[in-house]
Amino acid sequence: MIRALLLMFALIAAPVSARPFTAKDLATMERVGDPQLSPDGRWLAYTLRTVDYDAGAARQAVWALDLTKRDAKAVRVTEPAAGPPRPRWGEGGELYFLRVDGEGVRQLWRTSVGGGTKQLTRAPVDVGAYRVLPGGRTAIAIIRSFTDCETLACTAERLAERKRTRKASQLYDDLSVRFYDSYGDGRRGTLVRLDLDGGAAVPLARGFDVEDDYDFDVTPDGRTIIFSALASGVSPTISAHNHLYRVAVDGSAAPTRLLPEQGGSAFRPAISGGKLAYLHRGGNGSDGERSRLFVAVLDGSGAKELGAALDRWPMEIAWSGDGKRLYGAVDDDGQGRIFAYDLSGKVTPLTGEGVASSIAVGGPALAWLSSRFDSPAQVMVERDRATRQVTQAAAAQLADVSMAKTESVSFPGWNDEPVQAFVTRPPVVPGRKVPVIFLIHGGPHSAYSNEWSYLRNPQIWASRGYATVMVNFHGSVGWGQDFAKSIVRHRGDRPLEDFKRVWPAILARFPDLDGNRACAMGSSFGGYMVKWMAGVWNEPWRCFVAHAGAFDTRGLSYSNDIFYHNDQTISGGQAPWAAVEDVERFNPVAQVDKWSKPILITHGARDYRVPFDQGLSAFAAAQRRGVPSQLLHFPNEHHLILGPQATVEWYAAVNAWLDRWTAP
């Protein structure tokens, strides 16, 4: 498999050309996603995203490929449409997907590779993630419903009434006020049984909040659902403690909890025969906590951990076709590998360099998405002991673009522990030094991995003559539990020490980098670090760029949308009023009197993770201090900048800022 991976992406990566890779290339390039294998492993379905740049719209279509024919060509089986189609195979080779009907409601449809499409549901509100049960007559779906409504019609009528009366307010009695990019309206992701022969829709777990199809699975006999959800009445803003529940498909009884004695947070249930696999986190269940893989019988008894000796953890899992092992997608030393977890306890890496995700299994076949810094995501398939790349998304668009190479290096950081960094450089010209962008990732429990990015892509800056340095500081995932949790209560000092030690080591290792023409840039947690560094470590930098970063940690402690995460990172899980010293210890607002270097602040108005006022306040501070500064405001974007035109505009403003302050 590894030898095959080394050959992947040849069509995209091989050509060498002088044409630069641009932000518009990034925003408009084709993207594959959501690979799905038919039960017998013969067919692969996947989505292909295309962009109408002038309209600012993205569309996705479903394509299918016969894996048994080496020279087979993929065929499009649905028309491009807005929203994720979520293709899923039925047991007889039929293909299900989601699409908006003539009434503007997202419904479940069925088609086949040979053609012939039929609408299966006529729900009064949008159908979300789903699973079709054996026999093809019933589906379990997630539908956002009001918790006190016994029918979907009740939810639809209430929404229509609100629209008709143009109600100007929403009364809340819990903290489900807003999440990520939208305000709550009282609905939750409810598991619903849908009769595909035209019968009624029956809510099965009212009050429980279920997010996606990886949050539930159905027993082989089609009678029982095991799902992961927050307990009824608990807001996702204050808890990450998901639990496992069991409910009958016929709705004859209320959900009952599995494994109450285990505590912590249990999620990602996956069923094979009479076995239940799931992931479990201790502590408060938030990011940075190790996810442990367990296998139990369907009632939760006899739970056994797999891979306990491996200080890495999966974030997605899937059973093999024969039920003898599990596959897990795991962050590992700056790569994202698939590991095989045998029921015997043996753990084996299956993939090498790059990032593998979106695992799909069908019969003897295994599929996943794989990408690298220099190659966008493609679908890989392992079948009959051979691995091959089966898609060439964006190959034509990037055929005349040459990609810069990225090197992985490691240097001692805080506590003399190794800290990894990725360095991407434009072609080296003897005697010429290049300006540098020092990129800081978000999270902080995240990482820069050897993965293609549709957000901050170093290839764009390499094509403009900039090098990028990306440091996986203490708190990053992929280097074990202690490394990830070392940032708790230390987010302003231990990463900073990593940066202070790694930065001169990078310059010594790569003499073509110009340390006197460098800007520091970060998003989310990285944006916070930029604002913190602007006051406590601004000497090496010509300029700063901060996107969606906290400026006043006291204010953010009461205004973000995931309080448990903020509390965990800042004070080890204490509420802000009980940990005032922790909240203020690394607060950028307290260091504004030392701001002196130019700073560009970018922020989306619909960002409720780090509300826009955090960006506006930082801009106001810079302006009032007379520091050269700009604010780039996106009225329709959220924590990420995703719109095609917004992406191009973001890069244009950032590139102009970099050019302005790093000129020789």
Q: Which amino acid is at 266?
A: A
Percent over 90 (pLDDT), the chain: 88
Query: Looking at residues 328-349, what average pLDDT do you find?
Result: 96
- Classify strands 325-332 and 314-319 as parallel, antiparallel or unpaired: antiparallel
Q: Two tokens at 271?
A: 């069923």
Residue of 91, 192, 85, 86 lying closest to 133 (CA atoms) = 91
Please state, in angstroms and rounded to a whole number, the distance separating the CA atoms of residues 408 and 152: 52
CA dihedral 415, 418, 424, 427 (to 10 degrees): 110
Give yes or no for residue 286 having a pLDDT over 80.
no
Is position 412 within any domain?
Answer: yes
Distance between CA atoms of 36 and 318, rounded to whole angstroms?
12
Look at residue 58 in the predicted model and tell me its pLDDT. 96
**Hey, is 45 helix, strand or coil?**
strand
Q: Which two tokens stand for residue 569?
A: 């990172």
pLDDT tens, residue by residue, 245-270: 999 999 999 999 999 988 889 999 99
Q: What element of type H or E holds 370?
A: strand 365-372
Residue 578: predicted pLDDT: 97
The set of residues, in sequence order, having a beta carbon less than 8 Å from that of 394 and lying 6+ positions away, is 12, 29, 30, 31, 376
- The pair phi, psi for residue 152, each rounded to 5°, is -70, -30
In which band, very low, low, confident or very high, does the pLDDT at 285 lie, cut at 50, 70 and 90? low
* pLDDT over 50 at 13, yes or no: no
- What average pLDDT does range 67-87 have in this prediction? 95
Look at residue 466 and tell me whether its pLDDT is greater than 80: yes
Q: Residue 283 above 80 pLDDT?
A: no
- pLDDT at 380 exceeding the cut of 50: yes
DSSP 269-293: EEEETTEEEEEEE-TT--TTSPEEE
What single letter denotes the amino acid at residue 352?
A: G
Answer whether residue 556 is part of any domain: yes
* Cα radius of gyration rounded to whole Å, the chain: 25
Q: Return d(Cα 530, Cα 603) in angstroms, integer.
A: 14
DSSP β-bridge partners for residue 410: 420
Query: Nearest Cα to 434, choosing from 404, 454, 408, 413?
Result: 404
What CATH number should be reported for the domain holding residue 632?
3.40.50.1820
Higher pLDDT, 19 or 605: 605
Q: Are 225 and 130 in contact (CB under 8 A)?
A: no
Please give the Cα distance from 411 to 362 (Å, whole number).
42
Amino acid 495: pLDDT:
98
Question: In terms of DSSP bridges, do strands 314-319 and 304-306 run parallel, antiparallel, or are they unpaired?
Answer: unpaired
Q: Is the pLDDT of residue 4 over 90?
A: no
Helix, strand, or coil here: 664?
coil
Contact indicator for 382, 364 with CB cutoff of 8 Å: no
Per-residue pLDDT at 639 = 97
196 pLDDT exceeds 50?
Answer: yes
Query: Among 377, 406, 407, which Cα is nearest to 47's?
Result: 377
Is 480 part of any domain?
yes
Identify the domain containing residue 589 by its residue range.
Answer: 406-662
Is residue 15 pLDDT above 60, yes or no? no
Whether 87 is in a domain gets the answer: no
Whether residue 591 lies inside any domain: the answer is yes
Please tell me the number of Cα atoms within 13 Å of 67 on its side-chain side.
30
Mean residue pLDDT across the chain: 94
Confirm whether 151 is domain-assigned: no
The answer as to whether 130 is a domain residue is: no
Residue 7 scores a pLDDT above 80: no
Residue 17 reports pLDDT greater than 50: no
| 235 token code pair | 């807001």
Q: Residue 619 burial by CB count (10 A; 0-12/13-18/19+): exposed, middle or buried?
A: buried
Position 236 confidence tier, pLDDT thresholds 50, 70, 90: confident
Q: Answer yes or no: are the C-beta atoms of 433 and 358 closer than 8 Å.
A: no
pLDDT of residue 197: 82
* 632 neighbors 600 (Cβ within 8 angstroms): yes
CA 283 to chain centre: 22
By the 10 Å C-beta count (0-12 exposed, 13-18 middle, 19+ buried), 493 is classed as: middle
Question: What one-character DSSP code corresponds to residue 427?
Answer: P
Strand partners, 469: 423, 438
Q: What are phi and psi of 577, to 5 degrees?
A: -75, -15
Q: Degrees (nearest 5) of the Cα angle 260, 229, 487?
A: 85
Q: What's the half-sphere exposure (Cβ side, CA atoms, 13 Å) at 354?
A: 26
Confidence of residue 400 (pLDDT cuts 50, 70, 90): very high
- Range of weakest confidence among 94-103, 161-170, 409-418: 161-170
Three-state secondary-structure class, residue 505: helix
Q: Is the pLDDT assigned to residue 16 strictly greater than 60?
A: no
pLDDT at 608: 97
Tokens of 544: 């700063």
pLDDT at 156 over 60: yes
Q: Could you read off the pLDDT of 491-502 as tens digits, one per residue?
A: 999 999 999 999
Q: 500: part of which helix (H) or strand (E)? A: helix 494-509
> Encoding tokens for residue 16?
């060498």
Q: Is residue 587 part of a domain?
A: yes
> Chain-centre distance of CA 487, in angstroms?
21
Q: Which amino acid is at 218?
A: V
Look-up: residue for tokens 């795991």?
Answer: 330
Within 10 angstroms of residue 658's Cβ, the number of other Cβ atoms is 24
Q: How many domains does the chain contain in total? A: 1
HEC-encoded secondary structure of 592-643: HHHCCCCEEEEEECCCCCCCHHHHHHHHHHHHHCCCCEEEEEECCCCCCCCC
Rounded percentage of the chain residues whose pLDDT exceeds 70: 97
> Which tokens belong to 610?
């780090």
Is pLDDT larger for residue 430 or for residue 504?
A: 504
| pLDDT of amino acid 428 | 87
* DSSP states of 114-131: T---EE----SS---SEE
- If one counts every other C-beta atom within 10 angstroms of the C-beta of residue 319, the result is 20
pLDDT of residue 5: 44
Averaged over 617-622, what is the pLDDT?
Answer: 98
**Count of other CB atoms within 10 angstroms of residue 503:** 22
If one counts every other C-beta atom within 10 angstroms of the C-beta of residue 171, the result is 5
